[in-house]
Structure 1
Amino acid sequence: MFEIYMTKLHELTVVVYAFSVLLYFWDFIHHNRKANRIAFWLLAFVWVLQTVFLLLYMVKTGRFPVLTIFEGLYFYAWVLITLSLGINHLLRMDFIVFFTNILGFIVLAIHTFAPVQYESHLIGQKLISELLLIHITMAILSYGAFSLSFVFSLLYLIQYDLLKRKKWGKRLLRLADLQQLESLSFMLAVIGVPILILSLILGLQWAFIKVPGLTWYDSKVLGSFVVLMAYSIYLYLRIVKNFAGKSLALWNIASFLIVLINFFLFGQLSSFHFWYS
């Protein structure tokens, strides 16, 4: 009965989310402020539905829901919506919400239409610990920060192209200026990197305690360090080498693609993260 109720809640969430993204797209094309306001409130309703689901799931399982790829995707989508709503409230940047929630909707759709996994693997259940929960939660939060950093860099490239082609208009005015987009992208990367470092430290500590014969060449372990290296290089280029502009934005976007590969592909190939699949 609980699974049926959760399925219906997922379906309602996806439908409302789809309408919200479509209205944001309509506003992006036609500059319709009414559509923008409706899209915002629909998105807020989606956030409420997702939060209710998370709370109900926590009550049912008695733990924080991040221990399977199914749970991780849902929490990741929730983080994206939460951050986008917060940024929209603080900065009033509608297009940030639109592009972030295209990504969020894709993640939620993958989660919803993937095979249902309400229970973790039996071995995973035995290895649950607070350390593991904190490790996974912090990793997903860092991915949320990198996601928004990616969106800002993507908007930077769009704004850069509009200015280069001298396409003046309302769309150009509604995008933030290049310096602000670059600064926000950098700030979110600065937030995401230390969170990821702490997550990796906690994950390795947990592994040494719980997983005898830890293999360092595991795809997920290597992938996580490649992500950290990519964003560390991004920060190095920005802070030490004073790189800026289009080249830095492209590096940031490439780094986020590594995040996606690590999250979706390496997690499935990993023998070390067997509980997270």
Structure 2
Amino acid sequence: MTGMNFARLYELSVLLYALSVSLYFIDFLHHNRKANRIAFWLLSIVWIFQTTFFLFRMIETKRFPILTMAEGLYFYVWVLITLSLVINRLLRVDFIVFFTNVLAFFMLALHTFAPAHYQSGATAEKLISELLIIHITMAMLAYGAFSLSFVFSVLYMIQYHLLKQKKWGKRLWRMTDLTKLEEMSYVLNLIGLPMLLLGLILGVIWAYIKIEHFHWYDAKVLGSFSVLAVYSVYFYRRIVQGMHGKAMALWNIGSFLFLLVNFFLFGSLSKFHLWYS
């Protein structure tokens, strides 16, 4: 198996793992057994990929491959994935499974895109470039989900205003009911938040690898994690505090407006997010 084949296997593992973690996030919030089952099988495929590589590396080196930092990190990820599968199948401790997989995803991405552990310099550079592409793609998908969620919240507020003033015109009947509008807004945020989290993880890894003077206090970095925090508070208010209706729609609208500030203003102030300008 060539180095480039390993690179493709790494990338596929990261993408499948990202989808698995997103589904575990949905199950974590809503006890969705269907999402849990799909996440389990995706994680199983990731485990097969990782085990295949580990065995191949063992045959190639004629030893147990844990002597270098890269090998030790890879084995650590493999152990976390294995334990996640066992816990999910036997113990059903869902909170442990979700947070373990977030940690393991971070380590897998770090190992996958770290330069020059098994690949040639050209392959490593290609992987780093592809890491940036995946980071941007996941961030844009999250922004797209948040944008649609914002639209549903705006429609909710329009519908709420019309009902409050008892304006029973055609405009009111063309929009779906308040419950459906609120639910669609929530579901889209449910998709967007884990995508943003995973995209930020990959972005931080890329920055540490590629940028000589990476700073956590960069405007874009602080802004992006602030967006993550604002949308996390949205879920806290809805799930833990049980808030619904107008208050949540307004919070969601405010969250999206903050996202726009982060995208346009903080992006222009960043020292390395030049592709946003």
TM range (shorter): 0.5 to 0.7
Amino acid corresponding to residue 233 of structure 2 in structure 1 = I
| SS state at 1:129 partner | helix
Residue 174 (structure 1) aligned with residue 168 (structure 2): no
In the alignment, the residues of structure 2 paired with residue 161 and residue 255 of structure 1 have an alpha-carbon distance, to the nearest angstrom, of 20
Mapping 1:210-229, distance limit 5 Å: 210-229=210-229
Amino acid corresponding to residue 191 of structure 1 in structure 2 = I
In structure 2, list runs of 5 or more residues that go unmatched.
1-124
Amino acid corresponding to residue 171 of structure 2 in structure 1 = R
Counterpart in the other structure of 1:231: 231
Mapping 1:189-228, distance limit 5 Å: 189-228=189-228
Counterpart in the other structure of 2:268: 268
Whether the 8 Å contact between 2:264 and 2:276 is mirrored in structure 1 is no
In the alignment, the residues of structure 2 paired with residue 126 and residue 272 of structure 1 have an alpha-carbon distance, to the nearest angstrom, of 19
Question: 1:260 Cα shift?
Answer: 0.5
Structure 1 outlier segments of 4+, above 4 Å: 125-128
Amino acid corresponding to residue 166 of structure 1 in structure 2 = K
| SS state at 2:207 partner | helix
Whether the 8 Å contact between 2:218 and 2:270 is mirrored in structure 1 is yes
Whether the 8 Å contact between 1:142 and 1:191 is mirrored in structure 2 is yes
Deviations 1:140-175 (A, max 9, x none): 110000000000000000000000100002111111
Deviations 1:15-57 (A, max 9, x none): xxxxxxxxxxxxxxxxxxxxxxxxxxxxxxxxxxxxxxxxxxx
In the alignment, the residues of structure 2 paired with residue 273 and residue 136 of structure 1 have an alpha-carbon distance, to the nearest angstrom, of 11
Amino acid corresponding to residue 155 of structure 2 in structure 1 = L
C-alpha distance 168-276 of structure 1, shift in aligned 2 (>3 A) = closer
Counterpart in the other structure of 1:157: 157
Equivalent pairs, count: 153
C-alpha distance 166-276 of structure 1, shift in aligned 2 (>3 A) = closer
Counterpart in the other structure of 1:144: 144
Mapping 1:241-256, distance limit 5 Å: 241-256=241-256
Superposition TM-score, scaled by structure 2 size: 0.53
In the alignment, the residues of structure 1 paired with residue 274 and residue 210 of structure 2 have an alpha-carbon distance, to the nearest angstrom, of 13
In the alignment, the residues of structure 2 paired with residue 126 and residue 266 of structure 1 have an alpha-carbon distance, to the nearest angstrom, of 28
Question: 1:265 Cα shift?
Answer: 1.1
Whether the 8 Å contact between 1:215 and 1:272 is mirrored in structure 2 is no
| SS state at 2:243 partner | coil
Deviations 1:79-107 (A, max 9, x none): xxxxxxxxxxxxxxxxxxxxxxxxxxxxx
Counterpart in the other structure of 2:135: 135
In the alignment, the residues of structure 2 paired with residue 156 and residue 165 of structure 1 have an alpha-carbon distance, to the nearest angstrom, of 14
Question: 1:271 Cα shift?
Answer: 0.4
Counterpart in the other structure of 1:6: none
Question: 1:128 Cα shift?
Answer: 6.6
Whether the 8 Å contact between 1:127 and 1:210 is mirrored in structure 2 is no
Whether the 8 Å contact between 1:159 and 1:172 is mirrored in structure 2 is yes
Deviations 1:191-250 (A, max 9, x none): 000000000000001111111231111000001011101100001111111101111100
Counterpart in the other structure of 1:13: none
Percent identical residues: 67
Whether the 8 Å contact between 2:153 and 2:249 is mirrored in structure 1 is yes
In the alignment, the residues of structure 2 paired with residue 132 and residue 254 of structure 1 have an alpha-carbon distance, to the nearest angstrom, of 28
In the alignment, the residues of structure 2 paired with residue 261 and residue 233 of structure 1 have an alpha-carbon distance, to the nearest angstrom, of 18
Larger radius of gyration: 2
Superposition TM-score, scaled by structure 1 size: 0.53
